[in-house]
Amino acid sequence: MEMNYQDLARAARNGELPDDFDQWSLADKDGWTLAHTAAVHGHLPEGFDQWGLKDKTGKTAAHIAAIYGNLPEGFNQWDLKDNAGLSVREVKRIN
């Protein structure tokens, strides 16, 4: 069964995407990707490697995970910057 963006976003929010899911860059009209949605709710899979995906405002999936306290142990892309020039490290420190 093929799912639309809304169905996939709901699954990302609830941690219900399949283990082999690989379409993290699918986005809504605002550029909010499935990775951003999963990052808010702490449901990115172990080994996730697309931290640099940006929404239209330039926030990466890593920035969103940092804001919500959902960066995984061992995260190492602290120098990723958003469109305002803020690194993930800076965002984590602020939040």
Residue ranges making up the domain that contains 64: 5-94
Helices 34-41 + 5-14 axis angle, to 10: 20
**More confident site: 43 or 19:** 43
Of 16 and 95, which is predicted with more confidence? 16
Kindly report, residue by residue over 20-77, the tens digit of the pLDDT: 999 999 999 989 999 999 999 999 999 999 999 999 999 999 999 999 999 999 999 9
The domain that contains 21 carries what CATH number?
1.25.40.20
3, pLDDT greater than 80: yes
Residues 63 and 86: their CA atoms lie apart, in Å, by 9
How does residue 1 score in pLDDT terms, banded at 50, 70 and 90?
Answer: low
Q: Which helix (H) or strand (E) holds 11?
A: helix 5-14
| Structural domain total, the chain | 1
Contact assessment for residue 54 and residue 64, using Cβ atoms and an 8 Å cutoff: no
Query: What distance in Å separates the CA atoms of residue 71 and residue 10, rounded to the nearest whole number?
Result: 20
8 Å CB contact between 95 and 86: no
Q: Tell me 27's DSSP state.
A: B
The pLDDT of residue 17? 95
Report the pLDDT value the prediction gives residue 2, as an integer from 0 to 100: 73
Neighbour tally for 41: CB within 10 Å:
14
